Amino acid sequence: MGTKLRRPSHAGSWYTDNPKQLSEELDGWLQSCGLAKSPEVRGVIAPHAGYSYSGRAAAYAFGNIDPSNITRVFLLGPSHHYYTPKCALSTATVYKTPIGDLPIDLEVIEELKATGKFELMDIRVDEAEHSMEMHLPYLAKVFEGYQVKIVPILVGAVSAENEAMYGQILAKYVDNPSNFFSISSDFCHWGSRFNYMHYDKKHGPIYKSIEALDKMGMDIIETGDPDSFKQYLLEYENTICGRHPISVFLHMLRNSSTKIKIKFLRYEQSSQCKSDRDSSVSYASAAAKTDG
């Protein structure tokens, strides 16, 4: 099989395409979050907005990673432009970034294909999607000098039953300590342009209401219970764009024999909404650690 590259299509717009500048930016954010690298960290939930918006917040996820024992990273991101009720696998062999290339684990892609439950995404769909790409420079930086392969999985508009089904298929990979999981999601998208304006006045200004809503969701994710998370989404309809990847991850953890606990370490908003003319996107970063 020949090499098939996925170009870093959002470099030069969502983040700089200058390798030196990008490398320095990432180093700066990783150092300023001051987190100790821990071999117990087996996964992260991190945002995927342009780096000028969420680059700093994302460091609070990626800054926890100890690269020394990890050889494979499963990358789960939502689909923003392409509709599928399934999960889709990349057809590329290498994901390029301005600061180094990440080879795809073709063996695991074949294993997943063999289940018959995944579709394949066209390279154009792959390159149009930003949710996984925005994790790649951080992964390239954290795993600099280490041999690591990636398994990108685009998570479509998956039903609750299928979230559980994909969680069961992927759970066995959690039990291998050399596997790592990078889950891509922003949190509340608030404002008329997002068609979402939930406001509970008891919290004071709008941005405080958004924070309370997001933190409720984050607390539920920390319990590890995908059913409670589903209930919360049904009740409040919070616009968490990576709700499907997060749900699949919760089902993976529930079905694996390794006890792993998610803890949120950072929460930010792109701006503070004070009137219904305002809009904002929330960013939350978490680490998933082996427990006990």
pLDDT tens over the chain, length 292 residues: 578 989 877 877 678 988 999 999 999 999 998 898 999 999 999 997 668 778 899 999 999 999 999 999 999 999 888 888 999 999 999 999 989 999 999 999 999 999 999 999 998 888 877 778 889 999 999 999 999 999 999 999 999 999 999 999 999 999 999 999 999 998 989 899 889 999 999 999 999 999 999 999 999 999 999 999 999 999 998 889 889 999 999 999 999 999 999 999 999 999 999 999 999 999 999 999 998 6
Please report, for residues 183, 195, 203, 263, 268, the alpha-carbon distance to residue 215 in angstroms, rounded to integers and kept in the order given: 18, 20, 12, 12, 11
| pLDDT recorded at residue 292 | 66
| pLDDT recorded at residue 246 | 97
Cβ atoms of 42 and 260 within 8 Å: the answer is yes
* Neighbour tally for 37: CB within 10 Å: 13
What is 98-135 written as a DSSP string?
TT--EEB-HHHHHHHHHTT-EEEE-HHHHHH--TTGGG
Q: How far apart are CA 171 and CA 65, in angstroms?
A: 20
Instruction: Give the DSSP H or E segment for 286.
Output: strand 280-290
- Which domains are assigned to the chain? 5-290 (3.40.830.10)
Cβ atoms of 258 and 147 within 8 Å: the answer is no
Q: How many residues does the chain have?
A: 292
